[in-house]
Amino acid sequence: AKKVVLKEDPSLPIATKIKIRNGVDNRGKRVKVSGWVHRLRVQGKNMMFVILRDGTGYLQCVLTDNLCQTYDALTLTLESTIIVYGVINELPAGKTAPDNHELTVDYWECIGKAPGGDDAISNKVNENSDPSVKYDLRHLVLREERASGILKVRSQVLKAFRDHFDSRGFYEVTPPCMVQTSVEGGSTLFELNYYNEKAYLTQSSQLYLETCLPSLGDVYCLAESFRAEKSHTRRHLSEYTHCEAEMAFISFDDLLDQIEDMICDVIDRTLAHKPTADIVYKLNPDFKRPERPFMRMDYSDAIKYLKDNDIKKEDGTFYEVGEDIPEAPERAMTDKINRPILLCRFPAEIKAFYMKRCPENRALTESVDVLMPGVGEIVGGSMRISDLEELMAAYKREGLDPSPYYWFTDQRKFGTSEHGGFGLGIERYIAWMLNLYTVRDTCLYPRFTGRAFP
């Protein structure tokens, strides 16, 4: 066989370099597109179809005649990197391809060949692979449409949270991750050696946000939180992205309203972005925006609900007032009610030290968990103790040494205020929106018990 060597035709117009997402706007003119071979179909000797992927989209490319007879064409493999030159034209009726168009290639180059056969990615990992293999090869799995689609939604969700808070007048702050105080109890702290002093990875930025109120007013952050969770569940990670907000001069009802407003506004903003909405409905065709107002339910009524609906502990007994409602019954209740629930007023003894008591019943706290069907808790929040004496008593009751918290305590000394806030787990929020089985699929590289790689 004679060796076919391609040469770019110098009489053609100079190609404009574009990304695939801009294909529609660049139809009819000569373009240059770089990407990875996502799909490959050879049709006889004189025609080859490549679906090219560049992260911004997918583009069907048609190679004909000597373009598909070169050595590189005959040995082309999935995931190889190529540059194609040519003109994008709308497809005739009856044919389908991404964006309803295709690039007719007039010249192309192979930049990097990927292995084929036994060493091809699809032979190392595919949808039937064991989960642990998928996590080991997460860097390759990310190239799939589903995995990358979820990350694209995640990107837009993070933007939607930022836009939401910006539109409501909040400042964004970036608190430190290396800390020397616990927020949510000592049992889930990751300890580290900090220049021979004991320090931890933060569980929550809440206490720092509280210190910002007198200087910046309402504030929020999107930061990593860390939990040494012993539980190996589909909604617990060791590292997660925590969206936290703190507001001054509000009431408990204001707090509940703001949480509901945020969840609904973030959904609207996410779906207003057409490419993201397309992915959301592809991954979760039944997605429906929740109805407002959300159901508001007291913890004591949840205990009653569990009894009335025969939702029991593993030992066959019922949950009683004063007990924590674990993941399984919480899910069972939320799935049965099948709409978002603002679950309010938990007993003080099962909640964190900083929570404000209910004026009408001092055994309860002005606290809230938001429960979503399919996932359960996605938000935890509360009003905070604003009184100095009460906070000192709370440290004592919890067995916390107040000295490392001096800066937190000072907020109650130097001009205190009624205030409150909440934290939302981004991974749980996305798992709910996309109806995913596990929050792990919403992470670039998930961190959970026994896994800190890749």
Which one of residues 380, 383, 419, 442 is an interface residue with ligand 4AD (CB under 6 A)?
380
> What's the CA gap between 238 and 228, in Å, rounded?
6
Nearer to ligand 4AD, 103 or 370 (CB): 370
Using CB under 6 A as the binding rule, whether residue 351 contacts ligand 4AD is answered as: no
- Contact yes or no for 211/217 (Cβ under 8 A): no
Total residues contacting ligand 4AD by CB under 6 A comes to 24
Which one of residues 381, 394, 430, 441 is an interface residue with ligand 4AD (CB under 6 A)?
381
Which of 233-241, 289-297, 303-311, 338-346 is the region at the interface with ligand 4AD (rule: CB under 6 A)? Answer: 233-241
- Residues in 185-204 that interact with ligand 4AD by CB under 6 A: 204
Using CB under 6 A as the binding rule, whether residue 227 contacts ligand 4AD is answered as: yes
- Contact yes or no for 244/205 (Cβ under 8 A): yes
Q: CA 400 → CA 179, 183, 362, 363, 406, distances in Å?
A: 15, 11, 21, 20, 12
Using CB under 6 A as the binding rule, whether residue 427 contacts ligand 4AD is answered as: yes
Which of 48-56, 141-149, 238-246, 252-260 is the region at the interface with ligand 4AD (rule: CB under 6 A)? Answer: 238-246
- Contact yes or no for 233/327 (Cβ under 8 A): yes
Which of 62-70, 189-197, 237-245, 397-405 is the region at the interface with ligand 4AD (rule: CB under 6 A)? Answer: 237-245
> What's the CA gap between 55 and 36, in Å, rounded?
9
Using CB under 6 A as the binding rule, whether residue 149 contacts ligand 4AD is answered as: no
Nearer to ligand 4AD, 31 or 201 (CB): 201
Burial pattern 138-159, b for ≥16 Cβ within 10 A else e, equals bebbeebeebebbbbbbebbbe
Determine the residue with CB nearest ligand 4AD.
380
Considering only CA atoms, which of 44, 14, 49, 45 is closest in space to residue 29? 14
Count of beta carbons in the 10 Å neighbourhood of residue 317: 8
Using CB under 6 A as the binding rule, whether residue 440 contacts ligand 4AD is answered as: no
Q: Residue 352, class by beta-carbon neighbours within 10 Å (0-12 exposed, 13-18 middle, 19+ buried)?
A: buried
Using CB under 6 A as the binding rule, whether residue 237 contacts ligand 4AD is answered as: yes
Which one of residues 60, 80, 156, 206 is an interface residue with ligand 4AD (CB under 6 A)?
206
Structure tokens at 275: 């490419």
Using CB under 6 A as the binding rule, whether residue 446 contacts ligand 4AD is answered as: no
Sign (positive or negative) of CA dihedral 169, 175, 181, 182: positive
Using CB under 6 A as the binding rule, whether residue 229 contacts ligand 4AD is answered as: yes
Nearer to ligand 4AD, 102 or 239 (CB): 239
Which of 55-63, 172-180, 229-237, 263-271 is the region at the interface with ligand 4AD (rule: CB under 6 A)? Answer: 229-237
Considering only CA atoms, which of 46, 165, 181 is closest in space to residue 105? 46
Which one of residues 428, 432, 441, 443 is an interface residue with ligand 4AD (CB under 6 A)?
428
> What's the CA gap between 347 and 357, in Å, rounded?
9
Q: CA 68 → CA 2, 14, 61, 105, 267, distances in Å?
A: 14, 22, 12, 10, 46
By the criterion CB under 6 A, which residues form the site for ligand 4AD? 183-184, 204, 206, 227, 229, 236-237, 240, 242, 244, 377-381, 421-425, 427-428, 439
